[in-house]
Amino acid sequence: MPSLADKKIVVGITGGIAAYKSAELVRRLMDHGAGVQVVMTDAAKAFITPLTLQALSGRPVRDTLLDSSAESGMGHIEIARWADHLVVAPASADFIARLASGMASDLLATVCLATSAPIILAPAMNQGMWRKSATQRNIATLMADGITIVGPASGEQACGDVGPGRMLEPSEIISHLTRTGNNHSLDGASVTITAGPTWEALDPVRALSNHSSGKMGYAVAIAAAAAGAAVTLISGPTALNPPPGIQYRPVQSAEEMLAAVEQDIDTCNVFIGVAAVADYRPLRSETSKIKKHSDSVTLELVRTPDILARVAQHTKRPFTVGFAAETDRAIPNAREKLHNKGLDLIAVNQVDETNNPFGSEENHLILISKTDEIDLGRDSKTVLAEKLISEIAHRYHDEYSA
């Protein structure tokens, strides 16, 4: 992982309750040996004082665009040239909108426009504001402009709502920051990713499914896009918003997911099967709701298509990566799956009382190939997705450049 020692990092802070986390971000960056210059908007100062950030960074906080004392009034250019990296955390909906429009109405927006350094935005806002189509359009615009968007996470918010909009933790932002140098590791590659559960209908209102939330697959899709890939995300039913800047195909059943995968299989370079695909479906799906006419019902089930095996055995075979959630003998079972399906890699996690990834923001993954195992550790799904994409990119290039 690249070091942040002696790196010059501008930390931009906009208005929002998550600004309290910015103090921790600055402190941790200093612990990594970075030089930090804080730039605050007026709204940010309503949530955290410049004096706090000055004490942590050892530098006076900059907050004025037209500052005659800052290099003859050209302070924004001075800061823009100084920065090796620029991180805005939290990035409010208002700031995101202004930046997407190319506005330079305060010092922070002007520095973002003037700098040639990589920019990372960590959004933080109410879940309704994040889901709004205007915000998603602005995010897509910024991603197309080469700005990296990290998060937001989902969970309980200060207003009492629950959903996406929480700023990532400082450790997660720093993890993204240390990987900005690898963001082009999949340039030119076409990556197809499956995510979420499948829904195998019993009748119009019931189905066979599972606990998958889709969070891991969506995080992998975002990480692959950040690495420069053209990403197609094929998702079963989830409560998640489609990631901006990614081709998104919603499906319901395993059969529908297979059909969507087969659309890309001849042009796909890397396939990552994160979806928790149901192994069985009802032989018949009733056209009307099954009524409680007796104390028991017998269901006849048949196998669903093995999407991973189909991809791995295709004539124009992409680099193929699978996922396995196991309740026992995780490593042996995953290695058997790797061999039987003909995969290049498989990411496995043990599901038990100490690690239940379903619906969680965290997971613990071990990556297995035909020759080795790499413990990616227990971390947020966002960070694990980046580690996974880094390993996939390295091995994909090794195989296809050999």
pLDDT the model gives residue 356? 61
Mean predicted confidence (pLDDT) in 240-245:
78
Q: Is the dihedral of CA 352, 355, 356, 357 positive or negative?
A: negative
pLDDT the model gives residue 205? 81
DSSP 3-state of 308:
helix
Q: Is 67 exposed, middle or buried (0-12, 13-18, 19+ CB in 10 A)?
A: middle
pLDDT in tens, 68-78: 555 544 466 88
Q: Is the dihedral of CA 124, 127, 131, 135 positive or negative?
A: negative
Residues with Cβ within 8 Å of 385's Cβ and at least 6 positions away in sequence, in order, are 216, 219, 220, 222, 223
pLDDT the model gives residue 197? 93
pLDDT the model gives residue 1? 43
pLDDT in tens, 191-219: 999 999 999 988 888 888 888 888 899 98
Token couple for 69:
């004392």
pLDDT the model gives residue 248? 93
CA dist list (Å): 42 to 47, 88, 180: 10, 14, 28
Return d(Cα 139, Cα 271) in angstroms, integer: 25
Residue scoring higher pLDDT (4 or 99): 99
C-beta of residue 129 within 8 angstroms of C-beta of residue 92: no
**159 assigned to active site:** yes
Q: DSSP E strands: which ranges in 182-267?
A: 190-195, 200-201, 207-208, 230-235, 247-250
Q: Which amino acid is at 74?
A: M
What mean pLDDT is reported for the chain? Answer: 85
Return d(Cα 251, Cα 197) in angstroms, integer: 10
- In 3D, which of 108, 89, 103, 106 has the Cα closest to residue 39? 108
Q: Percentage helix, strand, coil, to 5, in the chain?
A: 35, 25, 40
DSSP string, 82-112: H-SEEEEEEE-HHHHHHHHTT---SHHHHHH
C-beta of residue 5 within 8 angstroms of C-beta of residue 32: yes
Q: What is the pTM of this model?
A: 0.65
Q: Is 228 exposed, middle or buried (0-12, 13-18, 19+ CB in 10 A)?
A: middle
* Residue 347 clears pLDDT 70, i.e. is over it: yes
Q: Is the dihedral of CA 381, 384, 390, 391 positive or negative?
A: negative
Residue scoring higher pLDDT (183 or 41): 41
Instruction: Please report how many Cα atoms fall inside a 13 Å half-sphere around the Cα of residue 324, on the Cβ side.
Output: 26
pLDDT the model gives residue 3? 64
Return d(Cα 148, Cα 183) in angstroms, integer: 9
Q: How confident is the model at residue 165 (pLDDT cuts 50, 70, 90)?
A: confident
Residue of 74, 159, 205, 301 with catalytic role:
159
DSSP 3-state of 154:
strand
CATH number of 8-182: 3.40.50.1950
pLDDT the model gives residue 388? 92
Which residue ranges make up each domain of the chain?
8-182, 190-401
pLDDT the model gives residue 181? 47
Return d(Cα 204, Cα 289) in angstroms, integer: 6
pLDDT the model gives residue 31? 87
pLDDT in tens, 314-342: 988 899 999 988 878 888 899 999 999 99
Same fold, 8-182 and 190-401: yes
Please name the residue that has the structure tokens 């061999």.
Answer: 339
Share above pLDDT 70 across residues of the chain, in percent, rounded to a whole number? 92
Hey, what CATH topology would domain 190-401 get?
A: Rossmann fold (3.40.50)
